[in-house]
Structure 1
Amino acid sequence: MLTLPLSPGAPALPRMAQISVQASLADTPVVLIQGPRQCGKTTLARTVAEPAGYGYISFDDDNLVRAARADPLGFVTDLPPRMVLDEVQRVPDIFTSLKLVVDRDRQPGRFLLTGSADVLLLPKLADSLAGRLEVIRLHPLAQVELRKHEACFLEQLFRAEFNMAATQRMGIALAELVVAGGFPAALTRLPARRRAWYQAYVQTLVQRDVRDLARIAALDVMPRLLELAAGQTAHLFNVSELASPFGLSRPTVRDYLTLLERVFLVDVLPPWHLRHINRLVKTPKIHLGDTGLASALLRLDAAALHANRALLGQLLETFVFQELRRQASAHSEAIAFYHFRNRDDHEVDIVLEQGAVLAGVEVKASGTVRTEDFRGLRKLQEIAGERFACGVVLYDGEASLRFGPGLFALPMRTLWSDRSERGFG
């Protein structure tokens, strides 16, 4: 079992995004770190900003929120030259004032913002700081961050270079990682106490951030809707199944899910497709933002999850997807994520696109891998042609195996192993 060695005075774990934040502050007037509440945004912002002499304001203080809303331009104008503005989604009116102040003085690193909601989905806000703002997404902790390892998997994946090494099966230890998730505060708790933290987290977030974003009459629906979404994680998005228990219209439930997406609790994974191929399924998948949260909503501990192979398969796919996204957020080149499925039931859980190059990842909870497990990857390889770099089946096995040109079966722990552990050359 992996737990966070944190105490109130302990140093924070190094985050992959820190280099990106520092680089952005060196050449961009406004930098926004956004991600779910309690994922470490404030800690990262302070780690970067305090040595550089930044001031700090948190809009979790309702008095500051009222002051900023009453006179946004005056509020921003009176700030010291370099400031951290925490939880800025609570005062969206301030963005236009930030633009005016930045345009008077375009020095890099003027403001470092954090936000627990995707404010840039609002067109006026996105436009107000166009050309002046860089956005960096921060996720809950990745496995490589928890182990203080260098993130190497994506580099190997797009090069199709894997060392054929042997390791040990993880068994229930893998279920423990899935149930633990990546929120720092939850990881400081004993496993039996984590569910209570996640439940309180959901209630606080719904009552605060979701209420700030939209006036919803049936606010009590949101935690139940999130619980249903947890049960559908890694499935094709089916709004009818999510709407039916509530007696709400499909458009209303879709709007509610969009709100959950805006506060980074739900991710919608689009399908990969080509215009000239008509037999590809174009329905997105839904993933919970963190498997610790999903497990708590489904009332699962590691033993129960390990015993329920269907749910383990679902949550493990989400776990791998989120680990890949967390590693990709610090990758040198932008990576887009999709899933692949056609009407003949060929499917690949996760498709990664870097420039014109594709790679596929299939996730299996079992300890064995078969030729049939590569069926979807081979179809994707056939369709993508020269664009296809590599296909991987991650499974809870012991051996790294080659199943053809550019096709590999790899133990699950390869996803977060260090270079020295992989023989990466």
Structure 2
Amino acid sequence: MYQRHTSEIVLSALDAQAAVVLLGPRQVGKTTLALEIGEQRPSVYLDLQRDADRQILTEADLYLNEQVGKLVILDEVQQMPDLFKNLRGQIDMRRRKGSRTGQFLLLGSASNVLLHQSAESLAGRVRYIEMPPLLLDEVGKDRLNDLWLRGGFPDSFRANSNRASMTWREDFLRTYLERDIPSLGPRIPATTLRRFWTMLAHAQGGLLNASALAEGLGVSGQTVARYLDLLVDLMLVRRLQPWHENAGKRLVKSPKVFVRDSGLVHALLGLGSLESLLGHPVIGGSWEGFCIETLIAAAPTGTEPFFYRTAAGAELDLVLRLPGNGIWAIEIKRTTAPKVSRGFHLAVEDIKADRKMLVYAGDQEVPTGDDLRAMPLAAAVSMLRNL
């Protein structure tokens, strides 16, 4: 078992809010975390994928009235969208009786679907928290290459061998394509969506080129946008938006697209060992995406991530706008030679960054002049955690 940072965040939120929505893709560890929290206080747990548990909530208010004083944990809550109205009434009723915090912990694996369902019903009564896969400072920096290769889904990372890990990820992809996505409503052929997902993995970290993707799949640009929206909503793909505040510059306006878990990138491309990954053209994009997801997860709540690129060649792999408007400029390189290009320095000047760093594959922090520090990923994570 690993101590998850999300656990502390959820416990703190339950002390401040009536309801907490914990979001994340399937198999990321939400249920395990919720059950651990449930062991620390009176609680009940219902899995709304199970017919028997949904049946219990046929008369939701009658059942929930009996659970006053307990933490009610509802897993896969998007399966019963009508339930949110009942939850609003329950929260308001309990507020009138003096109970304002720690009443409901809702787990969901489709972000925008769940947010739309709950936005109006639970406005002002709920906090949303996203749970990422396992992170570097949760498993230890000595496991960096394993985490990069296998990804952060706990069952994949903890598998007995690289082959067993790859088998788990293949099963995960198949289950999502054949069962989970159809259960949300979209009627998309599994083979088509698999091809689309694989195309994104090949172009990991590249600018979104919807017309090229559409041509490769033989579908329309609108269809590509729908596929991409779906994978983003399921928290399996990230659209990293470009920085847009320099009106005098010709900025790139297309987002970058990343498959969020590096292990899924490698499974989609059939890369089952570190040796095969190191010899593949995707290595740079894979490392960049892995670092970006790790750094975003370590940043303080409310941090906004971007990338920066101009037509003149100024470029930053990651820009973090921290709460309070501090701006960090981050370059990411899969190299042991800590050097940045002239374009990095131009970009730092453009966005007026407060801090600049190079995350590289070495294991020592190295000052390189101009207030730029080169550091391993673990050190950059530690800096963000300590803000």
TM normalised by structure 2 equals 0.90
The code of the aligned residue for 1:188 comes to R
- In the TM superposition, what is the alpha-carbon distance from 1:326 to its structure 2 partner? 2.0
- In the TM superposition, what is the alpha-carbon distance from 1:242 to its structure 2 partner? 2.1
Q: Which residue of 1 aligns with 2:313?
A: 345
Q: Percent identity?
A: 31
Q: Which residue of 2 aligns with 1:50?
A: 39
Distance 2:7 2:151 in 1: 21
- Of structures 1 and 2, the one with the larger relative CO (CA 8 A, separation 6+) is 1
Residues 72/239 of structure 1: CA separation in 2 closer, same or farther (3 Å cut): farther
Q: Which residue of 1 aligns with 2:365?
A: 400
> Aligned pair 1:178/2:148, yes or no?
yes
Q: Which residue of 1 aligns with 2:277?
A: 305
Aligned residue pair count: 377
The code of the aligned residue for 1:222 comes to L
> Aligned pair 1:279/2:250, yes or no?
yes
- In the TM superposition, what is the alpha-carbon distance from 1:412 to its structure 2 partner? 4.1
Q: Which residue of 2 aligns with 1:233?
A: 204
Distance 1:74 1:361 in 2: 53
Distance 1:207 1:90 in 2: 17
Residues 412/27 of structure 1: CA separation in 2 closer, same or farther (3 Å cut): closer
- In the TM superposition, what is the alpha-carbon distance from 1:123 to its structure 2 partner? 3.5
CA RMSD of aligned residues (A): 2.4
Contact 1:209–1:263 at 8 Å: present in 2 too? no
**Structure 2 residue runs without a partner (length 5+):** none
Question: In structure 2, which of residues 178, 194, 219 is the aligned counterpart of residue 223 of structure 1?
Answer: 194
- In the TM superposition, what is the alpha-carbon distance from 1:275 to its structure 2 partner? 5.1
> Aligned pair 1:358/2:327, yes or no?
yes
1:156-305 matches, within 5 Å, as: 175-189=145-159, 190-274=161-245, 276-300=247-271, 301-305=273-277
Residues 112/417 of structure 1: CA separation in 2 closer, same or farther (3 Å cut): closer
- In the TM superposition, what is the alpha-carbon distance from 1:274 to its structure 2 partner? 1.0
Q: Deviations over 1:143-172 (max 9, x none)?
A: 10012x8xxxxxxxxxxxxxxxxxxxx9xx
Q: Which residue of 2 aligns with 1:14?
A: 3
Task: Describe the SS at the equivalent of 2:81.
Answer: coil
Q: Deviations over 1:299-321 (max 9, x none)?
A: 1121011122x311110000101
* Segment of structure 1 superposing worse, 292-301 or 234-243: 234-243
The code of the aligned residue for 2:129 comes to I
Residues 73/226 of structure 1: CA separation in 2 closer, same or farther (3 Å cut): farther
Residues 284/66 of structure 1: CA separation in 2 closer, same or farther (3 Å cut): farther
Residues 405/217 of structure 1: CA separation in 2 closer, same or farther (3 Å cut): closer
Contact 2:298–2:381 at 8 Å: present in 1 too? no
- In the TM superposition, what is the alpha-carbon distance from 1:211 to its structure 2 partner? 1.8
Q: Which residue of 1 aligns with 2:343?
A: 376
Contact 2:304–2:320 at 8 Å: present in 1 too? yes
- In the TM superposition, what is the alpha-carbon distance from 1:418 to its structure 2 partner? 9.6
The code of the aligned residue for 1:363 comes to I
Distance 1:235 1:86 in 2: 35
Distance 1:49 1:277 in 2: 53
Q: Which residue of 1 aligns with 2:133?
A: 140
